[in-house]
Copies of this chain bind each other. A is one copy, B any other.
Amino acid sequence: MSTKFNKNMSQKQSTKQRAARFKATRKQHRLETAEDYTELIADLIKQKGEARTCDIAKLKGVSHVTAIRAIRRVKELGYLNSEPRKPITLTKKGKKLAEFCKKRHELVVSLFIKLGVPQDIAEKDAEGAEHHISSKTLDAIEKYVKS
| CB of A5 closer than 8 Å to a CB of B | no
- In the complex, the answer to whether B122 meets A137 with C-beta atoms within 8 Å is yes
List the B residue with the shortest CB-CB distance to A48.
B11
Question: Given A112-B137, A115-B137, A60–B132 Cβ distance below 8 Å?
Answer: no
- Copy number in this complex? 2
| Docked pose: A128 CA to B22 CA in angstroms | 8
| Docked pose: A29 CA to B129 CA in angstroms | 11
> Which residue of B18, B60, B61, B136 is within 8 Å of A121 (Cβ)?
B136
| Docked pose: A118 CA to B126 CA in angstroms | 21
- In the complex, the answer to whether A140 meets B127 with C-beta atoms within 8 Å is no
Which residues of A50-104 have CB atoms within 8 Å of chain B's CB atoms? 58-62
* 19 CB < 8 A contacts A-B: A15-B59, A17-B120, A19-B60, A19-B61, A21-B124, A22-B59, A22-B60, A24-B127, A29-B128, A112-B137, A115-B140, A115-B144, A116-B144, A117-B136, A124-B134, A125-B133, A126-B132, A128-B131, A128-B132
